[in-house]
């Protein structure tokens, strides 16, 4: 057996042999030789037939190698494939180049927008760090009006200071010795009067001689008291600050926003009265403690009110966020600084069972006053629509502008009714048209995210937008009364940031309530606080006197009183304001009778 060659019959060897024979066949095919007539073509067909029987996996591998081999042997077909592939790659290259150019343009736009937003952010941050309101409005007008009064008839009415009712000092002015131009003698023709109103830069010191007595029966110590005294303290506390100086410090700090140090400096430079910053602070807290009885009475009066405006704003106490709440009625203002912004804080002020007309900015917690009738502030919505339209695209601005026009039409409609230009029936008919127009807007779907948020808010506020048209003359369309109080407090917050202690926050709320209420009722806050300091015990000021309580009740009666009939209406026709149940969108808990709890101060 040695030296005898045994042919390899493995599948791989057979596959290689077939591959070589196929190569010979392709060469012969290129030379136009017929297949099947050579000495080995028949054997190749037999081998292929046997390979099929070897197995599906090996046959599939052979077929793939065979197809690839045939493609490589056909140059014309290969050139066509390469040409198509080259065209495809060129198309992809052109598309990628266009996409790159588009992305570069988008990048430039985003960079420009980013730069503009960065500038706007810097301006906003600088404006927020200012201690006073910014006076610059940005772009100057091309043709601004000249400042000051206009000449001629456009000047307006002329005013001058009135002549004082009393004169404290008479001063005779000497006659000049000679004429200042030529040096000649002068003759007196007449004497004219000139007045000068001046303040006295001095501290007025009072010394009280207080008798100290002893009761002969019970041996109790008793001392006298003068009406001008503010305290019975003696000994180390015998030297005190007078009530007028303390009241002036309260007004400078709480009404005008001056810090304690600045108030002490004004007292020193203006009147020669030396006080430390801590002394001013403690004096203000003493006034607040005496005024707490009045403060609680103001809260009770607010709870009995028929119409209440409510608002809140952020406030810092001990560098922590608190909320300053304000309730404003026709006659009183009540403020309190609380740790939250929820219904628990609002109900602690106004009472969870409040059943009057509540006007607010649409904050959701206000609607938890289930027995109250609500009016959402129209001014807030108009301002929101105006600001939204200013930054929106032309297509997106259509919706906020349409809402703004509907609300402004409602305000104009109210003014026409109050001027007796339309009847109550005409007012309600026109109100229904406005509501239908707004409902058509709210039924649409909007793509802009800002418009979606506005539409969602309006759908929630829809029942409370036109309450002022169903109760004209009784319910205000805006929350301006509370906003004016908040504007004063925001100015104070810009000056000294807030309060450092809880006692300071309590004093802030008490004194702000009293000062704002005094201004509402056109009363002298200086005289009120001075009288309070001179009283031996804390008392309730006449800001919530029985006369004011009667006036609060009188406002409800005037709201129920019939309006003067416009021209053309029969004199005997009775026109009353609608009851609570007649108003669309009011809480279902309101009674349907005319004499409802909502119109009473009980």
Q: Which of 244, 243, 262 is nearest to 252 (CA)?
A: 262
When pLDDT is averaged across residues 569-580 and rounded to a whole number, the result is: 35
Number of folded domains that form the chain = 2
Let me know: does 323 contact 315? Beta carbons within 8 Å.
Answer: yes
The contacts of residue 131 (CB under 8 Å, 6+ apart) are 494, 495
SS3 499: strand
Tokens 């052979």 -> residue:
62
How many Cα neighbours within 13 Å face the side chain of 107? 6
What does the pLDDT read at residue 461? 92
User: 145 vs 359, which has greater pLDDT?
Assistant: 359
Residue pair 350/302 in contact (Cβ under 8 Å)? The answer is yes
* pLDDT given for residue 114 in this prediction: 87
Contact 525, 251 (CB under 8 A): yes
User: Angle formed by the axes of helices 343-350 and 292-303, to 10°?
Assistant: 100
Backbone phi, psi, residue 374, to 5°: -110, 150
Residue where a domain stops, chosen among 22, 44, 76: 76
**Structure confidence at residue 553 as a pLDDT band (50, 70, 90):** very low
Determine contact, residues 514/541, Cβ cutoff 8 Å. yes
Is the pLDDT at 48 greater than 70? The verdict is no
Q: Would you say residue 66 lies in a domain?
A: yes
Q: Is 523 exposed, middle or buried (0-12, 13-18, 19+ CB in 10 A)?
A: middle
Judge whether 437 lies within some domain: no
Specify the DSSP element, H or E, that contains 212: strand 212-214
Which range has the worst mean pLDDT, 59-68, 436-445, 521-530?
Answer: 59-68
Query: Is there a domain that residue 111 lies in?
Result: no
22, 55, 76: which is the final residue of a domain?
76
Which residues, other chains included, contact 450 with Cβ-Cβ below 8 Å and sequence gap of 6+?
388, 392, 396
Give a three-class secondary structure readout of 309-347.
Answer: EEEEEEEEECCEEEEEEEEECCCCEEEEEECCCCHHHHH
pLDDT digits (tens, 9 = 90+) for 505-551: 999 999 999 999 999 999 999 999 999 998 887 789 988 865 544 44
Q: What is the pTM of this model?
A: 0.66
Residues 522, 513: Cα–Cα separation, whole Å: 14
Higher pLDDT, 114 or 78: 114
Q: What is the per-residue pLDDT across 280-319, written as a single tens digit (0 to 9) for each?
A: 999 999 999 999 999 999 999 999 999 999 999 999 998 8
Distance CA 334, CA 351 (A): 13
Mean pLDDT across the stretch 203-217? 87
Q: What is the average per-residue pLDDT within 269-284? A: 90
Query: Which pLDDT band, with edges at 50, 70 and 90, does 578 fall under?
Result: very low
* Contact status, residue 330 vs residue 579, Cβ threshold 8 Å: no
pLDDT band at residue 206 under the 50/70/90 scheme: confident
Structure confidence at residue 294 (pLDDT): 93
Distance spanning both ends of the chain, measured CA to CA: 131
* Helix axes of 277-290 and 260-271: crossing angle, nearest 10 degrees: 100
Residue 220 pLDDT exceeds 60 = yes
45 vs 28: CA distance, rounded Å: 16
| pLDDT for res 536 | 82
Rounded Cα distance between 216 and 473, Å, is 66
* CATH number (domain holding residue 585): 3.30.420.10
Higher pLDDT residue, 594 or 526? 526
Q: How far is CA 555 from CA 17, 305, 419, 466, 550, in A?
A: 116, 9, 20, 21, 9
Helix, strand or coil for residue 219? coil
pLDDT for 125-184, tens place per residue?
776 655 444 455 556 777 887 777 778 777 777 778 888 888 988 989 898 888 888 888
Last residue of a domain, one of 76, 96, 120: 76
Tokens of 14: 């057979």
Q: Look at residue 190 and tell me whether its pLDDT is greater than 50.
A: yes
Kindly give the interhelix angle for 11-30 and 56-73, rounded to the nearest 10 degrees: 30
> Percentage of the chain with pLDDT > 90?
43
The whole-angstrom separation of Cα 288 and Cα 494 is 22
Q: Tally the C-alpha atoms within 13 A of residue 315's C-alpha that lie toward its C-beta.
A: 32
Q: Which domain holds residue 40?
A: 11-76
Higher pLDDT among residues 19 and 353, named by residue: 353
Whole-number Å distance between alpha carbons of 248 and 260: 12
Distance CA 132, CA 406 (A): 35
Report yes or no on 55 lying in a domain: yes
Report, as an integer, the average pLDDT of 383-401. Answer: 91
pLDDT value for 600: 30
Cα 389 to Cα 398: distance, rounded to the nearest angstrom: 8
> What sections of 180-307 are H helices per DSSP?
243-250, 260-271, 277-290, 292-303
In this structure, is residue 205 part of a structural domain? no
- Tallying the residues shown for the chain, one arrives at 602
158 in a domain, yes or no? no
Confirm whether 39 is domain-assigned. Answer: yes
Cα Rg of the chain, angstroms? 46
**581 Cβ contact list (under 8 Å, min separation 6):** 590, 591, 592
pLDDT at 129: 58
Q: If you write DSSP's letter for every residue of 363-382 in order, what string do you get?
A: -GGGGG-TTSEEEE-HHHHH
pLDDT value of position 105: 92
Distance of alpha carbon 265 from alpha carbon 515, whole angstroms: 23
Would the pLDDT of 602 be above 60? no
Classify burial at 337, counting beta carbons within 10 Å of its beta carbon; exposed 0-12, middle 13-18, buried 19 or more: buried
CB 290 within 8 Å of CB 533: yes
User: Domain for residue 118, yes or no?
Assistant: no
Contacts of 20 (CB under 8 A, 6+ apart): none
3-state secondary structure of 208: coil
- At residue 269's C-alpha, the angle toward residues 265 and 275, to 5°, is 45
- Eight-state DSSP code of residue 200: -
């Amino acid at each position: 057996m040695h030296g005898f060659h045994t042919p390899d019959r493995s599948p791989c060897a057979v596959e290689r042999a077939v591959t070589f024979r196929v190569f010979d066949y392709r060469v012969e095919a290129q030379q136009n030789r017929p297949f099947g007539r050579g000495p080995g073509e028949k054997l190749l067909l037999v081998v292929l037939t046997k390979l099929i029987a070897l197995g599906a996996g090996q046959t599939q591998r052979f077929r793939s190698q065979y197809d690839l081999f045939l493609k490589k042997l056909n140059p014309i077909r290969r050139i066509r494939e390469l040409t198509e592939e080259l065209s495809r790659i060129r198309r992809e290259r052109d598309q990628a180049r266009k996409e790159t150019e588009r992305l570069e343009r988008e990048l430039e736009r985003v960079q420009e927008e980013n730069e503009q937003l960065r500038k706007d952010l810097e301006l906003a941050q600088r404006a927020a760090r200012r201690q006073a309101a910014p006076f610059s409005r940005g772009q100057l007008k091309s043709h601004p009006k000249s400042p000051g009064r206009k000449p001629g008839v456009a000047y307006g009415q002329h005013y001058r200071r009135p002549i004082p009712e009393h004169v404290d000092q008479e001063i005779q002015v000497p006659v000049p010795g000679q004429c200042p131009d030529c040096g000649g003698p002068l003759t007196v023709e007449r004497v004219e009067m000139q007045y000068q109103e001046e303040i006295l830069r001095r501290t007025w010191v009072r010394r009280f001689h207080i008798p100290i007595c002893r009761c002969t029966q019970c041996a109790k110590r008793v001392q006298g008291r003068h009406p001008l005294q503010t305290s019975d303290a003696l000994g180390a506390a015998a030297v005190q600050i007078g009530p007028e100086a303390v009241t002036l410090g309260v007004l400078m700090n709480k009404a005008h926003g001056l810090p304690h140090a600045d108030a002490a400096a004004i007292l020193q430079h203006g009147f020669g009265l030396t006080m430390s910053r801590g002394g001013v602070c403690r004096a203000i807290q003493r006034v607040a403690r005496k005024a707490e009885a009045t403060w609680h009475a103001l809260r009770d009066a607010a709870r009995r009110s028929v119409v209440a405006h409510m608002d809140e704003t952020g406030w810092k106490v001990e560098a922590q966020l608190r909320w300053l709440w304000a309730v404003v009625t026709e006659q009183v203002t009540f403020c309190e600084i609380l740790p939250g912004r929820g219904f628990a804080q609002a109900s602690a002020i106004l009472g969870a069972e409040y059943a009057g007309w509540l006007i607010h900015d649409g904050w959701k917690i206000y609607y938890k006053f289930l027995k109250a009738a609500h009016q959402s502030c129209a001014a807030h919505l108009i301002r929101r629509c105006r600001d939204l339209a200013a930054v929106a695209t032309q297509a997106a601005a259509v919706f906020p502008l349409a809402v703004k026009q509907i609300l402004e039409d409602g305000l104009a409609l109210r003014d026409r009714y109050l001027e007796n230009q339309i009847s109550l029936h005409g007012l309600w008919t026109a109100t229904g048209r406005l509501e239908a127009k707004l409902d058509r807007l709210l039924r649409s779907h909007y793509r802009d995210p800002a418009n979606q948020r506005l539409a969602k808010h309006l759908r929630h506020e829809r029942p409370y937008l036109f309450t002022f048209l169903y109760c004209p003359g009784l319910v205000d369309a805006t929350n301006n009364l509370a906003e004016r109080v908040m504007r004063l407090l925001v100015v104070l917050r810009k000056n000294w940031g807030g309060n450092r202690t809880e006692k300071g926050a309590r004093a802030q709320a008490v004194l702000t309530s009293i000062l704002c209420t005094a201004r509402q009722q056109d009363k002298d806050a200086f005289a009120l606080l001075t009288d309070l300091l001179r009283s031996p015990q804390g008392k309730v000021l006449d800001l919530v006197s029985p006369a004011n309580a009667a006036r609060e009740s009188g406002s409800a009666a005037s709201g129920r009183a019939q309006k003067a009939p416009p021209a053309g209406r029969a004199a005997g026709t009775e026109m009353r304001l609608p009851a609570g149940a007649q108003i669309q969108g009011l809480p279902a808990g309101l009674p349907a009778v005319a004499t409802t709890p909502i119109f009473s101060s009980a």
